Structure 1
């Protein structure tokens, strides 16, 4: 058996598993088939002699392809679920092959929940919890450390299981408050800062934030906090911090300190500064317009 024939045979041995992985991540049978085909194309163009673990290599490649598909999908308008997933589009003539894939795939309820996860969360959860892929292998796919991949999968698992997030936040109102805080701080508007701060506001900082010389890690009271922030935060950006409006200070495109806000009755009641490297690797940051 020639080298190409041997490689094709080994790939076919892995095809069903790769298709199951891709389908569970993407929730779309046509997209899963495309991902598997692209995996074969990449394998055929690679030097197979350098691949020690073909099954692991194929899982990594199909995972990266699926991650790219998810990120592209989030950048365009969402399709109605019936058009996107063959699980729900159950009218028409049954396809035995498709039914076999679906029988070994996620149920409708789980598929719907997976659609709410970020691409990294979805991939980490599916690969680890459904296919027992180690976090050491997942980490390079999502470009995070194994510890960060573990945290991302844990966050996804909580959402899948329906565990409530630590706080219920009015995102629109919190964005308004954080934006007002940022504007007042940049413009050194002491009065405006006092208006947006709770009289008993507290500022807390972890050792990672303190390492950058932050003097704000043990402040309390609106006047003290306003004095420290007045005229500062010029380099901070408005972002979603794990889905909640906050701020981030970045250098060369990398986050150094994340500012997480607790807003009560339209005012900042607490501000947490976090610069721990492991936290920064796992936190999900999405830029917002001010």
Structure 2
């Protein structure tokens, strides 16, 4: 069965080592790929996810050491939400306190227990307690017990002026269905997709627009099972919504097209294949700096510019 939903979320960060420490050592995600921004090879591109780097688990960052802090506003992803086993909320609340991570008290959203918190750059994150996922595969690292480890994405919330046109893209192009409303939140779900199968739209009217910078999401990517599925999405986008996507770009681990949805958020459509084990063994993902073929001749210069991380 074709799985829809989130493929990955890409954000902007400050210092690379600080970003790496937080997502691998505090949240316990796996660094599944260490490469560079293909358009700015003096900057890393880190991909964090589960053991295999499955679509629906991948959070990526462009870390610029001197990035100016961004400002949340209309036209961007407001919050990126992870899944944790139902009995893990107490563990994660304690861990966030222990690690000095700014967070809010647990609350209920759509009947689920949620802890909202921020990373060192102020990026808005949350954990949702989800029943029945204890036996799902998890990346076990550092000191986080297997029974509490993060299991990929639960959802992302998008801050929009007007929810209807964005909702139309989610339903017509990406296979989501509106399933619930709670206050200013409208929840969309992609069938039975477990990983990243939920998008919440928060309608904010004339709230000020956001400003890109450290702590903000650059774009959100949705899954396409193949090039043919991606091409059909692009066709429908133009035919039904008058929106044209970019040409396809090879990102080595997936092939991508981009477009601005009606509220101005940058959306990507990314193929599931070939995945992150295409250029290094699955057991050693993220350990070596991987460069696209066109940048390989400049490896020595690129490595000399990139900050050292461990």
What range describes the TM-score normalised by the shorter chain of this pair? under 0.3
TM-score (norm: length of structure 2): 0.23
More helix by share: 1
Question: Of Structure 1 and Structure 2, which has the larger fraction of its residues in strand?
Answer: 2
Rg (Cα) greater in structure:
1
Q: TM-score, normalised by structure 1?
A: 0.24
